[in-house]
Homo-oligomer: A and B are copies of this chain.
């Protein structure tokens, strides 16, 4: 398929090819009359710029790569939305890869993206294949790791402290009077965010002298049915649990559904809390106490940072903490206002922005 080339546009517009190129890429360096003539010619011949050729010649591409662990989850869907909207406004395009939580698959995507000469790259978390780190170090393109603010960044980071968020939620549950709090987390294999969330829970349980027992921590897949089953399993093993903190809202709603089916009263018999603040959390009956994150902003801020760096600017911060917020709702008892509003962990976090 030999396509219409810049040369043909140039001929029709009676200018040189480079002028056409400039009209497209640096319009303000071309006089208005020329610009109009070129645009008319472009329309006339039906020219579509070949970004492959342009990218090759300029060693710049208008593409950014994103690798996410999976997509069936509003955390990542919102991030994709945040990135695509900003990138579109800035004239960039998004190459998407899904790693399914495998660092090896992530590495393959990174390789392929580098082969496409992406101008920037966004990854999830800080757990990567060693080759990913070394390739990226050599490639010298801006990289944003997201959804965490801890660990050793490759370059930049946008997220929140998973550990602090979980610590804050356990504190909140303790203020609600819960003393034996179970934790249902997602699998923590290759998932530094989950590891951090578990650590936050454990630290808080220890600091607040709540019931400690390895049997209180179990894992579940992110599906409603799995969350329901996890509730059953946890209650079977630890019948006197008085609250359950799920590191994911889908799991938490699964628990709420199962509790309803079994006639377990929430929050009286048991308190249930989640993580993410998905749409369903506030609509569900009872509404779910949870940790609110700024998912869309994780994407939009990442994209902004990448674009800034691609343009050669230096962002104010290499690590952006978007904070979190404990949202108390009906699935947990009312908190006693003993301490001063320590919930406002998010306030300080946000201030860090």
Is A14 positioned at the interface, with any CB of B under 8 Å from its CB? no
Instruction: Establish whether residues B61 and A72, one from each chain, have CB atoms under 8 Å apart when the complex forms.
Output: no
Contact A80–B71 (Cβ < 8 Å): yes
Chain B residues closer than 8 Å to A253, beta-carbon distance: 280
When the two chains form the complex, which single residue of B56, B112, B223 contacts A279, counting CB atoms closer than 8 Å? B223
Identify the stretch in A46-54, A167-175, A313-321, A344-352 within 8 Å (CB) of chain B at 4 or more residues.
A46-54
Are B63 and A72 in contact, CB atoms less than 8 angstroms apart?
no
CB contact list, A173-200 vs B, under 8 A: none
Stretch of A25-33, A89-97, A235-243, A302-310 with 4 or more beta carbons under 8 angstroms from chain B: A89-97
Q: In whole angstroms, what is the CA distance A2 to B283 when docked? A: 54
Contact of A52 among B46, B116, B224, B257 (CB under 8 A): B116
Interface size on A, residues (CB 8 A): 60
A52 with B48, Cβ < 8 A, contacts A96-B80, A257-B285 known: no
Mostly, the A contact residues are: helix
**Contact between chains at A56 and B50 (CB < 8 Å):** yes
Asked if B224 contacts A279 (CB within 8 A), the reply is yes
CA distance A228 to B283 in the complex (A): 9
Contact B98 A84 (CB under 8 A): yes
Q: Are A78 and B72 in contact (CB under 8 A)?
A: yes
Query: Among B96, B108, B135, B279, which residue has its beta carbon within 8 angstroms of that of A48?
Result: B135
Per the bound structure, the CA–CA distance linking A95 and B253 in Å amounts to: 33
Whole-angstrom CA separation of A95 from B105 in the bound complex = 18
Q: Is the CB of B56 within 8 A of A53?
A: yes
Asked if B260 and A283 make an inter-chain contact with CB atoms under 8 angstroms apart, the answer reads no
Contacts of A48 in B (CB 8 A): 111, 114-115, 135, 139
Q: Top 8 A-B pairs ranked by shortest CB distance?
A: A224-B283, A51-B115, A52-B55, A96-B96, A52-B56, A71-B77, A84-B98, A51-B116
